[in-house]
Amino acid sequence: MRPRCPEPPSAAPRPGFGHADSCGRPPHVQTRDVLDATSSDAAGAVPAPSLGTPFMTSHPTLPRARQAVLVLAAVALLAGCAVMSKGDCEKADWRELGRQDAERGQASSRFAQRAEACVKAGVNNADSSEYAAGHAQGQLSFCTTDRGRDEALAGQPRSAACQVPAAARAYRIGYDDGLQRFCTARSGFDFGRLGAMDRDICPPESSAAFQGGYRLGKELFDLNRRLERISTEQLDQRKVLADSKSQPAARETASRRLGQLDSDEASVRRLIRQAERDGMALAAPDAAPAVTRARAMDLVVGTWQVSGVRFDQPVDLNRDGVKSNDAMSEYSPCSRDTQLEIGADRKGTLRYGANTAGCKARAKTYDWSLVDAKTRKARYENGQRIVDERAVVALQLRAPADTETLIIESIGADTLIVRTDLPDGSDSTSEATVVYKRVR
């Protein structure tokens, strides 16, 4: 009998902030650095889209490598075991089996394996509808944004288990976010130096960088393995020389071989040092993923809580005579309690003071869209005025009386960073960066 399988291991009514009164009520301020915007409400197609021992600096994806090995080993063990015994089939709860399979990351195609096993055992009671219902339920637990991100950072292919729309979207958001961090030259280097297998999960636009780093890391891995083999053989030859029973001919052969090995060791160590120096050039943090309208569309829906506001220049929001760039230290508790809700139905809501005791909860509704726009900023160089222009993606919030425009600087599964003009405690406004954290 084959063994049974073991279990696998704010402020005011605007998206930013305003005056620091008890409820935060700044006047409407239009972002002034937006030149022109071509609105397009079409979501657009979203492109489909570490490891190793730390090298000179710690790497955030290092633990994922070991996790990936354990997961893959567990999957292989499951695949090699009997699917179901006759007793299992006779007492099977097919809904529960579907749920369990999904929570273990197994695709719904496992039902066919289970059903076939039961037929061979003489039990023909497989219920595909019950299994599918349970599997859909299990996907909601398994296919999370965090799991998608973790699996991408571990270099694993996309899970085939996530098919229910809500589960698939949550998993895809995390996985795509993980790919943005994994598919870099540095991650490729770390992945390769661990000796991990490249599963070719990176999209075309980042594959070349990852592959370049991976080849360098794999070269370092192979050199270290070669050095280990040299060290082992050196030890063997030294044992021959140290053994008083060794024959003169054996001693002479061992001595010549040891000299060759010492030369090989010096050569390999030089190559290792060179590979490490080349790896150091890849160790700098990678730039944040570029913001595109497709990427923003896929990530922006949800509830966002303001966690930080920083002005470019020091401001005195509470008018106590002390200026600061950090608006959070200047705002009242009610002003700090601001949430931005972005709905899949293109409706948005700003909520103020809803989660802070003593604040009067208020809300303002908008229609939202993502637009391609341009910003312009002037600077002076050698007495000449130079205007820098760049393309950006903006989040527009439209209400009957006004329109708010937020320039998206960065967006990920958990963090949204925007630029906008905010009231600065005087009769004017100043540019500021607002950081939102996703509310889960």
Distances (CA, A) of 178 to 356, 392, 414: 34, 23, 12
- Residue 47: pLDDT band (50, 70, 90) is very low
Confidence at residue 283, expressed as pLDDT on a 0 to 100 scale: 57
- Cα separation, 161 vs 153, in Å, equals 18
The first and second tokens of residue 413, run together, are 């599964």
Instruction: Give me the percent of the chain exceeding a pLDDT of 70.
Output: 80
Q: What is the DSSP letter of 289?
A: P
**Kind plus residue range of the DSSP H or E element containing 433:** strand 429-438
Assess contact for 431 and 409: CB atoms under 8 A: no
CB 98 within 8 A of CB 130: yes
pLDDT band at 407 (very low <50, low <70, confident <90, very high): very high
Helix, strand, coil shares of the chain, percent, nearest 5, are 40, 20, 35
Q: Give dist(CA 287, CA 56) in Å, integer.
A: 19
pLDDT at 335: 86
**What digits encode the pLDDT tens for the residues 327-365?**
888 888 888 899 999 999 999 999 999 999 999 999 999
* Burial of 8 per CB tally in 10 Å (0-12, 13-18, 19+): middle
pLDDT tens, 317-327? 877 778 888 88
**Which one of 6-20, 38-52, 268-282 scores highest in mean pLDDT?**
268-282
Cβ–Cβ under 8 Å, residues 364 and 403: no
CA distances from 433 to 59, 257, 292, 361, 436 (A): 27, 66, 19, 24, 10
Nearest CA to 179 among 145, 209, 149?
149
* pTM, entire model: 0.54
Better-scored residue on pLDDT, 227 or 312: 227
Structure tokens at 219: 């070269």
- Which residue would you say has higher pLDDT here, 130 or 374? 130
Tell whether the model's pLDDT for residue 438 goes beyond 80: yes
Tokens coding 91: 């007492």
The rounded Cα 359 to chain-centroid distance in angstroms is 35
Cα–Cα distance measured from residue 306 to residue 325, given in angstroms and rounded to the nearest whole number: 16
Q: Which residue has the tokens 């922006």?
A: 300
CB distance 155 to 51 below 8 Å: yes
Tens digit of pLDDT for each residue in 139-167? 999 999 889 999 999 999 999 999 999 89
In this predicted structure, the answer to whether residue 32 has a pLDDT above a threshold of 50 is: no
